[in-house]
Structure 1
Amino acid sequence: MGWFWADPVAPATGARRNMPHQMPKDMSASPPPSCPMHKPGADALKPTAKPPTPTPESACPYTPGSPSEGAKEKTSSTLSKYNPLNFMFPDLSQEPAKDQTVALPTEREPSTIPKGTGDGNWEYPSPQQMYNALLRKGYTDTDATAIESMVSVHNFLNEGAWAEIVEWERRFGKGLARGWEICKKGEAASMAGADIGANEDVVVQPKLIRFQGRPKEMTPKAAWLQLMGWAFPEKFGTEPPFDRHDWFVQREYPPGEKKEVRYVIDYYSGPPEPTGEPVFYLDVRPALTPTQAVERMMRWGGDVWYRASGASVRENSKN
């Protein structure tokens, strides 16, 4: 779901925990089964066949081909079409498409997500750019009247994903020891501390360096949930995620040491509200590196311990 452009925009105001993008109440469209920008682009030009290399008379007359070189050349040609920061077309037009009958806005909305380069925030595509992208990817039957709602949902989900990442960084942005001090108070108490701004001044706000959509690659956690849903459909049954992203975030430790942290995001859709509004669920967590696996265990284990030990009951009795 993460369509961003890395063009210069107004100076960043810093990532905010509250999402400014409200879920639109009147919309008839939901995101496509997967962000079309993450599907493979047009086939690369076939590399020109190289002339056979002459061999000495004493050498073996059979000269095997070099498939790896051809594959490397083709891959390079395909990837060269995309911006390396987001694997998207860098030159999407703001002009109306051929035979387009509905006028679409060309204004692009800035996000609250700081760029890793430090020169402002990432910027969302305009409805016209998104429509052109869908057509360029082969979605020629796209309903142009649904594009604006699609953009609103798209922006809303990405702001929600970033808010989750900011919360992870608030806990572990200064290391595991401080992270455990926050997590052992339980999820509710930790979130309450975030709401009142506790210790916000000691954590440098994270930045999004780059991201990559991988809708066809199911995460191990999502695959396990699908297996559990097959075995126990009443308890774990759910549709597979309609998209998957990897976001690479810059974490900065005092006094300025920087580290790249990869986050994995699964996007799920749920049953609509009685009012007809669509429902989405995001599963945002650090990727399973040794350190980040400890972070995930601390956050989950801290909340379980807080409730199982009766700390939550004791806290409530004091109030």
Structure 2
Amino acid sequence: MPSSSNSPQPGQSKPLSTWRQASSIPAGGEAPLPEHQPAHGVRSGVWTYPSEQMFYNAMRRKGWTPSEEDMTAVVAIHNAVNERAWREVRAWEAAAGCPAPTLLRFRGRPADVSPKARLLNALGYRLPFDRHDWVVERGGGREVRYVIDFYNGAPSPDMPTAMHLDVRPALDSPLALWERLRMQAGWVASGRWQRE
């Protein structure tokens, strides 16, 4: 994305913030070049989120008609959801013995339905509205790909926007299968599934 990605669009009704919030997600490996990570960047060793203007521009490029008035809330939700996804990745990594993972790269894949989501859909559940793949660096330089499916949750009066995240290692290796089975067994044994 050219440097104009943080510039107002023709016909935009009001200016939007160009400030970019730093995340809590540590960046691994070499800092990505701006043209390779257009909306998210790296600052002081952590990923930075897109500004309101960048988010608005990206939505316009994808053919949507975003409202400038909604951008503050949209960006806040986006950032909070990513922080929650990172907490879940860290829980998986801690269970695998890695206390300090870093995020190497990520990719949005909204048109690609994961095999698990297809299976759940065949059983009567709705498809996720979005999917991301995150590649995490585990200790010793090992890369682990995570699949994150984003589902709409049931809104409530105190939470008008609700989401469910399904975060798990991709089944790229026998070790990933073992980690998923072990984590699922622990989740069932703890009774946590009954409280959710």
Q: TM-score, structure 2 length as denominator?
A: 0.84
1:239 alignment partner in structure 2 = 126
Tell me if 1:112 matches 2:36: no
Aligned residue identity for 1:290:
P
Unmatched runs of 5 consecutive residues or more in structure 1 = 1-88, 175-202, 230-237, 308-319
Distance 1:269 1:134 in 2: 19
Secondary structure of 2:19's match? coil
Tell me if 1:212 matches 2:72: no
Residue from 119, 122, 133 that aligns with 1:224: 119
Distance 1:120 1:112 in 2: 10
Secondary structure of 1:146's match? helix
1:297 alignment partner in structure 2 = 181
Larger radius of gyration between Structure 1 and Structure 2: 1
Tell me if 1:122 matches 2:34: no
Tell me if 1:167 matches 2:91: yes
Secondary structure of 2:63's match? coil
Unmatched runs of 5 consecutive residues or more in structure 2 = 31-43, 192-196
Cα separation, partners in 2 of 1:146 and 1:296, compared to 1, 3 Å: same
Contact 1:207 1:249 in 2 (8 A): yes
Is the strand fraction higher in 1 or 2? 2
Q: CA deviation at 1:137?
A: 2.4
1:13 alignment partner in structure 2 = none
Contact 1:92 1:129 in 2 (8 A): no
Tell me if 1:97 matches 2:9: yes
Q: CA deviation at 1:221?
A: 0.6
Distance 1:220 1:115 in 2: 28
Residue from 124, 139, 149 that aligns with 1:266: 149
Contact 1:169 1:206 in 2 (8 A): yes
**Which digits, 9 at most, give the CA deviation of each residue in 1:253-302, with x for residues without a partner?**
xxxx2200011100001121123521100000011121011001111123
Aligned residue identity for 1:249:
V
Q: TM-score, structure 1 length as denominator?
A: 0.53
State how 1:146-225 maps to structure 2 within 5 Å.
146-173=70-97, 203=99, 205-225=100-120
Residue from 267, 275, 280 that aligns with 2:163: 280
Q: CA deviation at 1:249?
A: 0.2
1:79 alignment partner in structure 2 = none
Contact 1:270 1:280 in 2 (8 A): yes
Secondary structure of 1:117's match? coil
Q: CA deviation at 1:135?
A: 1.8
Distance 1:287 1:261 in 2: 8
Residue from 232, 248, 251 that aligns with 2:138: 251
Aligned residue identity for 1:270:
G
Cα separation, partners in 2 of 1:214 and 1:92, compared to 1, 3 Å: farther
State which drifts further: 101-110 or 155-164.
101-110
**Which digits, 9 at most, give the CA deviation of each residue in 1:54-102, with x for residues without a partner?**
xxxxxxxxxxxxxxxxxxxxxxxxxxxxxxxxxxx35353222112112
CA RMSD, aligned part only?
1.7
**Which digits, 9 at most, give the CA deviation of each residue in 1:105-158, with x for residues without a partner?**
11000001111136610100100111112222222x221111111111110110
Cα separation, partners in 2 of 1:305 and 1:158, compared to 1, 3 Å: closer
Q: CA deviation at 1:244?
A: 0.6
Contact 1:210 1:248 in 2 (8 A): yes
Cα separation, partners in 2 of 1:275 and 1:301, compared to 1, 3 Å: closer
Contact 1:243 1:267 in 2 (8 A): yes
Cα separation, partners in 2 of 1:276 and 1:158, compared to 1, 3 Å: closer
Distance 2:18 2:187 in 1: 45
Distance 1:98 1:290 in 2: 51
